[in-house]
Structures are given as C-alpha cells and as structure tokens.
Amino acid sequence: MNAALRFSLAFFSAFALSAVENVKILTALFIFILLFFLGLHFRHRQLQQAIRFLLIFNIFTFFIWLTLPWKWQDGWHYSAEGQQLALLLSLKMNLITLCIRLLLHRFNELDLLTLLQHPFVPPKFVRLALLSVRYIKIFAETDRTLSTAMRARGFRAGFNRRTFYVTAQRVALLLIHAMNKAEIVDMALRARGVNYQKINVHKEHQG
C-alpha cells in the first residue's frame, strides 16, 4: 500500500468515525482495532511502548470524564447526557488515533513531502512543511545533546529551586541553538536554489 493511499484512508476514516453516533458500533470497532493494534506491537516486541502511548494519550480522556458528566444547576449534579457525550468522545478519539497510527505506521517526512508534490498545493505550504520537518528534527537533536550534557554533569531533576533554574536555562539554550541551526538550514536551502514550486523531495531528504 503506497503512501498516498494510506494517507487518504487515514484521512477519510477519521471523518467517517467522527460521524458515527452509535455507542455499540463504536465499542465493537474500538475493541477490534485495539486488539489488532496491541497484537501488531506484540509481534514486533513493542507492546510496552504501545501501552505507554495509550496511557499517555488517554490522560486527556481522563479529564473529559472528570468534567463532562457533571453540570451545575443549584449545585453539582450528575448528567446522563454528559456521560453519553464523554463516552462518545472517548471512543471516537481512541478509534481515530488507533486508525491513524495503524495506517500511517512508518510514515516518515519523506512520504509526507512526496504527497505535497501536487499542482493544487500552494508553494508556500510546501515550503512551510519542508522547513517544519527540518526544524522539528533540529529541536529534537538539540534537546538530546543538552540532555546528554546535563546527565554527564551529574544533574538529577527534582522538585527544587535548582531544578527550576537549570530547566529554564535548558529551555533558553534549546531555543537559541535550535533557532541558530534553523537559520543555517534556511540559508543553506536558499544557497542551493531550492524551488518550492517543484521540489525534488528525494534530493532534499538526502541533503
């Protein structure tokens, strides 16, 4: 299955699932896709990472259940309508996320930029996407470098004044170094005469 078809399926499945209002159908789909998702990661020995991803993602779902089932009317009262809405939102959010994760598995920035090579996509949007991909990588690499340097100097995070001070310095250094590298990347692209109306994605990715 090529990247364009996978992206299209992910896009339209998200819209289709968002339109379903039947809880039983959503629950059945969720159980089936969840088992498939966990089974796939278990096969690749990544079950722990999959469970961790689901737990982190559903932190927001937890707050939905803390707020939606309650309403104020001369005091706090439990609302059946709110509970139904929270259930629908939780199922839809998890279903859409799992579908996108499965359909866009190993979908990298090269695949995304390849999809943007379309006459109807504005050149400025292509440029924004290309630079965004590069900037995200720069931030990630800079953060890893700073994290390694901090651990090498024996820093251990805690709930104290020194941790707050060091963390603030880390964020400042991250922004400074990342923006400096981003400017260098932008100048390098301009020096190479990048034409955003007709980008050779494979060439740019290798560069």
Distances 1 to 65, 106, 148 between C-alpha atoms, Å: 37, 12, 39
186: number of Cβ within 10 Å: 15
Q: How many CA atoms lie within 13 A of 41 on its CB side?
A: 18
Q: What is the pairing mode between strands 76-78 and 70-72?
A: antiparallel
**Pick from 121, 99, 129, 132: which is nearest to 6 by CA?**
99
Task: Tell me what pLDDT residue 204 has.
Answer: 45
CA angle at 86 for the pair 96 and 41, rounded to the nearest 5°: 35
| Amino acid, single-letter form, for residue 139 | F
Task: Tell me what pLDDT residue 196 has.
Answer: 52
Is the whole model's pTM more than 0.75, yes or no? no
17: number of Cβ within 10 Å: 21
Q: What is the pLDDT along the chain (207 residues), one digit of tens a residue?
A: 677 788 888 889 889 998 888 999 999 999 999 999 998 888 888 888 889 889 988 998 898 888 888 887 777 788 888 888 889 999 999 999 999 888 887 777 677 777 776 677 777 777 777 777 777 777 778 788 888 888 888 877 777 888 888 888 888 888 787 777 777 776 776 777 655 555 544 444 444
Task: Tell me what pLDDT residue 89 has.
Answer: 92
Task: Tell me what pLDDT residue 91 has.
Answer: 93
Task: Tell me what pLDDT residue 207 has.
Answer: 46
**Pick from 52, 33, 35: which is nearest to 96 by CA?**
33
Q: How far is CA 99 from the centre of its chain?
A: 13
Alpha-carbon span 18 to 10, nearest angstrom = 12
Which residues neighbour 103 within 8 Å (Cβ) at sequence distance 6 or greater?
A: 6, 7, 9, 10, 13
Contact 92, 14 (CB under 8 A): no
The length of the chain in residues reads: 207
Task: Tell me what pLDDT residue 95 has.
Answer: 93
Alpha-carbon span 27 to 13, nearest angstrom = 16
